[in-house]
Structure 1
Amino acid sequence: DFIRRWLLLHISMRINISLVSDFFIKLLKLPMSFFDTKLMGDLLQRIGDHSRVQNFLTGQTLNIIFSFLSFIIFGIVLLVYNRLIFLVFTICSVGYGGWIAMFLSRRKVLDYELFEQQAKNQNRTYQFITSMQEIKLQDCERRRRWEWEDTQADLFAVQMKSLKLQQTQEAGSIFINEVKNILITVLAATAVINGEMTLGEMLAVQYIIGQLNSPVSQFMQFIYSLQDVRISLERINEIHEGRNEETQENQATEFASEKSIAMDNIDFKYDPHALKKTLVGISFDIPEGKVTAIVGASGSGKTTLIKLMLGYYPVMSGSISIAGRNINEYNLKWWRRHCGVVMQDGVIFSESIARNIAVDDNEIDP
């Protein structure tokens, strides 16, 4: 057991790091527009889905293998003792499996509902904690707390539906198992009375049935775990199947001519379904070697222009040219390495001042 636990911890950590690391690698390749449509809680929940996959691969898969071997061995012994009892046990176990299968579709729906509510809850909690200064400044403590409590109430309602479904399934499972045990006991007792089986054989049959019940229960739990993992993988694959920011078409890594920036009749809006555009018909040139100031009232689109020049979002119409070449032709990571930008909502990492200044992947100069 000591060696098994050590191996499981070693394997599970490697699997978890590999899965989550691949997830982060994919996230970093996605365009900024993807993050505008996802809540913080949604992404955190998807990261949590990796733990489901990890537990399934490292723990439950090994346990089900041992349970299967145990079921085969004791099943053969029961078949040798009494074929009729083995047949009754098999039929009832199949009925048990059929009862479990009836709840799979409803479980999937509730799992997605629970995922959505937990994502909202995490997002609301994160927002509540990180916005404490603004909450106190605007004197809106009660309203924010009520909003958080409403989220908890919605989460509780989904959890109650899930609990009711689980209790219904468990009640049916207990009934089927009890009917099976009663039938087997009656058959074994009848066989003893008729002289077809000794009292010792009857006790042996009861012990074998007890040993078979545990693997069968684990098989049924394995079905639910397998469904949970498939649901988690579906959610994880939604991220992995997303379109990357970098494509085969934007691989240019050199400036073709004079290093100027030109915007030609740009139209843009963050929400493609919004009626009003954020920018309409914007055109200007920023020549090389000149200082150009973009001024305007708050909300007029200055930050949006910078984000478009960094290639964070595609324009609806018009074009952005860097050194005479469309921005869509450049490798965006390469282009951003040539830009120095301090955004108004920038992030200070929990590191040294030097590391926050030299924030890229390279080492800090001595």
Structure 2
Amino acid sequence: MMAIQYIVGQLNSPIDLLFNFMQQFQDAKISIERLNEIHELEDEEPLGLRLATDLPFRKEIVLRNVCFRYQGSESQEVLSNIDLVIPEGKTTAIVGMSGSGKTTILKLLLRFYEPTKGRIQVGSDSLDQISHSFWRGKCGAVLQDSFIFSDTILKNIAVGDDYPDKKRVQNAIDIANLTDFIDDLPLGLNTKIGASGNGISQGQKQRILIARAFYKDPEYIFFDEATNSLDANNELVIMENLKDFFVGRTVVIVAHRLSTVKNADNIIVLHKGSIAEQGTHQELIGNNGRYLELVRNQLENIV
């Protein structure tokens, strides 16, 4: 029996190594296939294609009869006949039930997708005639799937900047209410955080993403549920800080918490991919429509 146990024990190690090798091989194969898919995609800006690298004098964003559906013969329209003007220097909020197309509008504005039909303009210029990299350089975005890199907090805020501007970093930290969190860390801004934000809470991750967006000092700001993981105190402080920063900037906020959008200059209510109504908070309350229904549902959930 001892001899058999010894032989079985000797076999365990190579068998484990073989199984681990097979698993790593499968993971590597999947990764290579995915890399090939990305490599074979057409470049966003093909060589020789001349795209604009400046913005027109008027910088409002206009959506004309925009429709969008994902690839696939049986996919339904996510957005249908969206006619919308996002005024320059104003705050526009987009609300609605889950799946109504709010996030899709932001991704169209950031040119992650292209409209199936219709046109998006910045002032008098078509958005598809503006350089992707130039346009995104003018935009600061906090999306639901934004990524925290395995690097220091400083590098996660000043992404791609080899020599971060200390004043801008501190300003972004103040706006995102990160000062106390960073001061409590032994290495401060040089504290390393892992991939996907390992070692920090969802609220801290979201505040770092907000600081990253404002470090860019963008002309256009896109928030997609940017404060949904924050506690009430942090959310209140950050929203107060943002009031001054939003002045003179074009802001689009997607949110389920109506408390974060009630002060917007214009609120768009989406329903099943179409605009159901729009107006200020008080106007929409008076309309007794879908916006009021959303407000009532939230109040009932709180109670």
TM-score, L = length of structure 1: 0.35
The structure having more radius of gyration, on CA atoms, is 1
- Larger helix share, 1 or 2: 1
TM-score, L = length of structure 2: 0.42
- Larger strand share, 1 or 2: 2
